[in-house]
Structure 1
Amino acid sequence: MSVFSVFDVAGSAMNAQSLRLNMTASNLANAETVAGSPEEAYKARQPVFAAALRSVQGGGEQAAVGVTMRDVAESDAPNQRLHMPDHPAADENGYVYRSNVNTVEEMTNMISASRSYQNSVEVMNTSKQLALQTLQLGQN
């Protein structure tokens, strides 16, 4: 693996963690929303990632070059039913349905994504420093 492949992989990882952070922010923003039915209520979403592969020239083999977002998975956890007969979105029985976002899980996910992003930045910086040192060896 060349040093430039490391940049591709680290950049792909940073992009994936950025998507994960954005989806977590969306979940947190909708944590307290309510709707008139369980089908309309917001459901927590998580990205599904897959390895991105590239064919290696000549041998027909494949080499990993990072990750890509394959899909978005919605949580199947039940929505909480609240009795709020005066709410404009209440159904005929006076119930509204809160989103199924678990804020503690989302905050944990946000911290994990943030640290993974920071690790990818460190990989990129270390690779850059190694490449620069290699170029300096060639100058001497």
Structure 2
Amino acid sequence: MAFLNAMNISASGLTAQRARLDVISENISNSNITRTESGDPYRRRMVVFEPRTQGSFQEIFNKTAFGGASTQRGVIVSEIVEDESPFKSVYDPTHPDADEDGYVMMPNVDLLKETIDSMEASRAYDANVTAFNAIKAMATKGLEVGR
């Protein structure tokens, strides 16, 4: 049933964007952590997405459109990577982690960037919910035809 495949694709998008929002929330909540277990400031994390199926559009289209086996499609979180951009140096001689010159190394988390990323992830999540509900409505209407 094709509508179930479409629901699975939307559901994979929902799961991926939820994971992205979780990582963004973690970044925001740790934006002032100057010392982790390793002794360095918190390093920003990013989510990397990957398509669930591999192959060109034409290969996937030929498999599914012309009676071939249906392949799982959608998106998955392939990994969560650390941002290697440099830490921010802030002058605060009263901070316990300040160096001899009074500078503290702060996490490489930019709150504006995280806010924009969270808005984007939220919009993508909402779009997947809308697509899922549209598919559900079409399936319901299709079942009503038989009445």
- Shorter-chain TM-score bucket reads 0.7 to 0.9
Q: Which has the higher strand share?
A: 1
Whether the 8 Å CA contact 1:43–1:74 is kept in 2: the answer is yes
Question: Cα distance 1:35–1:83, how it changes in 2: closer, same or farther (>3 A)?
Answer: farther
Whether the 8 Å CA contact 2:3–2:135 is kept in 1: the answer is yes
Partner amino acid, structure 1, of 2:81: A
Output the CA distance in 2 between the equivalents of 1:14 and 1:32.
Answer: 29
Output the CA distance in 2 between the equivalents of 1:3 and 1:53.
Answer: 18
Give SS of 2:52's match. strand
Partner amino acid, structure 2, of 1:118: D
TM-score normalised to structure 2 length: 0.80
- Show the counterpart of 1:127: 135
- Show the counterpart of 1:45: 45
Whether the 8 Å CA contact 1:21–1:113 is kept in 2: the answer is yes
Q: CA RMSD in A?
A: 2.8
Output the CA distance in 2 between the equivalents of 1:95 and 1:109.
Answer: 29
Partner amino acid, structure 2, of 1:79: F
Whether the 8 Å CA contact 1:82–1:96 is kept in 2: the answer is yes
Partner amino acid, structure 1, of 2:33: T
Deviations 1:59-92 (A, max 9, x none): 5x77352111111122122111233343222345
Whether the 8 Å CA contact 1:35–1:90 is kept in 2: the answer is no
The Cα shift of 1:115 comes to 0.7
2:106 matches 1:95: no
Q: How high is the sequence identity, in percent, across the aligned residues?
A: 29
The Cα shift of 1:17 comes to 0.5
Matches within 5 A, 1:1-140: 2-35=2-35, 40-53=40-53, 63-139=71-147
